[in-house]
Amino acid sequence: MRQKFVIGNWKMHTTTAEASHLATAIAAGMGTDDRVTVAVCPPFPYLALVGDRLKGSRVALGAQNLYPAQEGAFTGEVSPTMLLDLGCQYVILGHSERRHTLGESDAFIHHKVRVALDAGLEVIFCIGETLAQRQADQTRTVLDRQLLQGLDGLSAAALTHLSIAYEPVWAIGGSGHHATPQQAQDAHAIIRHRFGQIFGARSAQTLMIHYGGSVNPEDADALLSRPGVDGGLIGGDSLKAEPFLAIVQAAIRQTQTPVEAA
Ligand code: PEP
């Protein structure tokens, strides 16, 4: 069975004091149950601090982005080497805010994925359709394009270091819309099926697919209990220890009731 995974994406939030307090509270509240993998992704300036606060806990450190080069004249950018140096194990790539607000193309994201994997980072690769695309019945086409172009040419070995976060753009960031557990399950099944066609059934079987889209303690059980929903990428509710830890508890509960993989 694929292990459940809960990731906190702090986006461009927190101050030094808040990041320190939040990381300390999450580490302290995590307990010793190791059936769920947990990671938090603070803003770049707080990676070292948060890494320090997480020391000795079972919470891993991740980054929200990188630039696809080891070093060089790239003013303002952060390399995979720097992330590893700061203790990052994970990096989020292809987030919809980077695709739609910052204009990142599938080709650029593909380059980042390759460089991150080559460097030894574990990639959390985000895909998802906008509301207009869903309403125009283009969900399948969009997911297909993002998968094909974002992961083109990756080896089966490299793919064992990559998981996918399905994030319907219309349901993230407090949009007021929520995907139902059935909608999440259906989209995950589409992704896993297509992934299997491209990379083989074996890769599809071990692939972790997380759901992201305003996940909160109230709907976490319903979402995480769905076949094929292997974890959650949490934005808003990762900014306070209590709801984030409650979602981790929901994931732990789901490990006690194994479900059939979709
Ligand atoms: C996200 O944008 O990664 C996310 C899941 O945000 P939220 O939980 O706030 O919708």
Q: Which residue CA neighbors atom 4 of ligand 1 most closely?
A: 235
d(CA 121, CA 81): 9
Mean pLDDT confidence for 21-44: 96
**Considering its fold, how many domains does the chain have in total?**
1
Which numbered atom of ligand 1 lies nearest the CA of 236? Answer: 9
How many residues comprise the chain?
A: 262
Which numbered atom of ligand 1 lies nearest the CA of 238? Answer: 8
Q: Assess if residue 186 is contained within a domain.
A: yes
Q: Assess if residue 106 is contained within a domain.
A: yes
- For residue 260, the model assigns a pLDDT of 47
Q: Assess if residue 262 is contained within a domain.
A: no
Measure 65 CA to ligand 1 centroid, in angstroms.
15
Q: Which residue CA neighbors atom 3 of ligand 1 most closely?
A: 235
Query: Taking 90 as the threshold, does the pLDDT of residue 51 lie above it?
Result: yes
Q: Assess if residue 168 is contained within a domain.
A: yes
d(CA 194, CA 189): 8
Cβ-Cβ contacts under 8 Å for 230 (sequence gap 6 or more): 2, 3, 4, 5, 163, 208, 209, 210
Mean pLDDT confidence for 58-69: 98
d(CA 6, CA 39): 7
| Cβ of 214 below 6 Å from ligand 1 | yes
Q: Assess if residue 192 is contained within a domain.
A: yes
Mean pLDDT confidence for 107-112: 98
Q: Assess if residue 42 is contained within a domain.
A: yes
What percentage of the chain carries pLDDT values higher than 90?
92
Mean pLDDT confidence for 125-147: 98
CATH number, domain of 117, equals: 3.20.20.70
Cβ-Cβ contacts under 8 Å for 249 (sequence gap 6 or more): none
Q: Assess if residue 261 is contained within a domain.
A: no
**pLDDT class of 20 with cuts at 50, 70, 90:** very high
Q: How far apart are the first and last CA of the chain?
A: 11
Structure tokens belonging to residue 235: 């934005």
Annotation says 71 is catalytic? no
Domain that holds residue 236: 5-256
Structure tokens belonging to residue 156: 């089966």
Q: Among 111-115, 135-139, 254-258, whose mean pLDDT is lowest?
A: 254-258
Residue with tokens 């309403």: 135
Choosing from 104, 122, 167, 188, which is the catalytic residue? 167
Structure tokens belonging to residue 73: 């004249």
Mean pLDDT confidence for 181-199: 97
Mean pLDDT in the chain?
96
Mean pLDDT confidence for 18-42: 96
Query: The whole model's pTM is what?
Result: 0.96
Please say whether the beta carbons of 191 and 147 come within 8 A: yes
Mean pLDDT confidence for 104-132: 98
- For residue 257, the model assigns a pLDDT of 59
**pLDDT class of 145 with cuts at 50, 70, 90:** very high
Which numbered atom of ligand 1 lies nearest the CA of 172? Answer: 10
Annotation says 193 is catalytic? no
- Extract the runs of DSSP E, i.e. beta strands, from the chain: 4-9, 36-41, 59-63, 90-93, 122-127, 162-166, 209-211, 231-234
**pLDDT class of 262 with cuts at 50, 70, 90:** low
d(CA 164, CA 178): 19
d(CA 209, CA 164): 5
Q: Which residues pair with 8 in a beta bridge?
A: 40, 234
**pLDDT class of 256 with cuts at 50, 70, 90:** confident
Q: Assess if residue 241 is contained within a domain.
A: yes
Query: Taking 60 as the threshold, does the pLDDT of residue 151 lie above it?
Result: yes
Query: Taking 80 as the threshold, does the pLDDT of residue 259 lie above it?
Result: no
Query: Taking 90 as the threshold, does the pLDDT of residue 32 lie above it?
Result: no
